[in-house]
Structure 1
Amino acid sequence: MMNRCLYCYKPLSKEEYDFHPACCKKMFGDKNSPQLPYSENQLEDLAKEVIKSHTAVTGVQPKLSLHLSNGNESRKTKKFTI
Structure 2
Amino acid sequence: MKILLTNDDGIHSPGLWEAAKALNELGEVFIVAPDREQSGVGGSLTLHHPLMVHSAPVSGGHNHSNAITAYSVEGTPADCAILALEELI
* TM-score in terms of structure 1 length: 0.26
Asked which structure has the greater RCO (Cα within 8 Å, sep 6+), the reply is: 2
Instruction: Tell which structure's C-alpha radius of gyration is larger.
Output: 1
Q: Which has the higher strand share?
A: 2
* TM-score in terms of structure 2 length: 0.25
